[in-house]
Chains A and B, each alone.
Chain A
């Protein structure tokens, strides 16, 4: 599960830095001004795709366990699917300037956060318990 989150976040890191590099190059050499339309795309990928997912994956890996198990993993799988679905919906909304997919994307993202918190909350405890 952690590996899915972390590898997915690494792919978003690459995508985010690629778009970011194009935007920064644009400041030095105006080769395609329309590239600025990708700014919200860059922010979404870096914050939700790279940083948030990496934190979720690492937390799932490292938080104290319950003996041999990490508790209910279904909620974390749900979080993984929801956050990635949310990001993709938001990215499509930026391309098509559509309000509904943007709203749906944010709803999926908050669903991911709630689902993850439901999983992680009881694991925030001393290691020995």
Chain B
């Protein structure tokens, strides 16, 4: 398995564990009153699961298993692949921190972080599609 796929898949598994821990913590908050920021984590939970886990696993496995692009560049551009990985993960981590924080303790810094997070994740999707599109072909 190529190293980029391993990073995507392992990062995906970490988000899976994180999302489930977050769900447990948010439900525990309903039983014991602690850390009120947990009242605002539902969007983070869904996106850790859908973007962090499922989308990243798909990215990693498709980069690994889709038909080769060319003999020289079997998996397309490595630079674009790594850019996708970093943009997606930095963007998602920014969201995980900034989204609940922006509700619990509003501040301009969280708002700016949310805008950056949106742009980074959007760029990651564009880079991924651009790089994988040519590999969706007959062998």
Q: What residues make up the interface of A, taking CB atoms closer than 8 Å to B?
A: 3, 6-7, 10, 13-14, 17-18, 20-22, 24-25, 27-29, 46, 50-51, 54
A27 touches B58 (CB 8 A): no
Min Cβ gap B128→A in Å is 8
A22 touches B118 (CB 8 A): yes
B114 touches A28 (CB 8 A): yes
17 contacting pairs across A/B (C-beta < 8 A): A3-B138, A6-B136, A7-B133, A13-B129, A14-B125, A17-B125, A21-B119, A21-B121, A21-B122, A22-B118, A24-B114, A25-B114, A27-B102, A27-B111, A28-B111, A28-B113, A28-B115
Considering the chains assembled together, what is the distance between the CA atoms of A21 and B138 in angstroms?
Answer: 33
Min Cβ gap B138→A in Å is 8
A17 touches B115 (CB 8 A): no
The residues of A that contact B17 with a CB separation of less than 8 Å are none
Digitize B107-139: 1 where CB-to-A-CB distance is under 8 Å, 0 elsewhere.
Answer: 000111111011101101110110011001110
Find B133's partner among A10, A20, A22, A27 (CB 8 Å cutoff).
A10
Considering the chains assembled together, what is the distance between the CA atoms of A27 and B43 in angstroms?
Answer: 12
B102 touches A17 (CB 8 A): no
A27 closest partner in B (C-beta):
B114
B111 touches A29 (CB 8 A): yes
The residues of A that contact B133 with a CB separation of less than 8 Å are 7, 10
Interface size on B, residues (CB 8 A): 29
Known: A28-B111, A51-B54. A17 touches B122 (CB 8 A): yes
Q: Verify if B83 is at the interface (C-beta below 8 Å from A).
A: no
B58 closest partner in A (C-beta):
A54
Given A17-B122, A17-B126, A24-B121, 14 further pairs, Cβ under 8 A: A3-B136, A10-B129, A10-B132, A14-B129, A24-B99, A25-B115, A27-B114, A28-B98, A28-B118, A29-B111, A29-B115, A46-B50, A51-B50, A51-B54
Min Cβ gap A28→B in Å is 3
Min Cβ gap A41→B in Å is 15
A13 touches B125 (CB 8 A): yes
Known: A10-B136, A27-B99. A21 touches B118 (CB 8 A): yes
Among all A-B residue pairs, the 9 with the closest Cβ atoms: A28-B114, A17-B125, A28-B111, A21-B122, A24-B118, A21-B118, A28-B115, A25-B118, A10-B129
Min Cβ gap B37→A in Å is 15
The residues of B that contact A18 with a CB separation of less than 8 Å are 122, 125
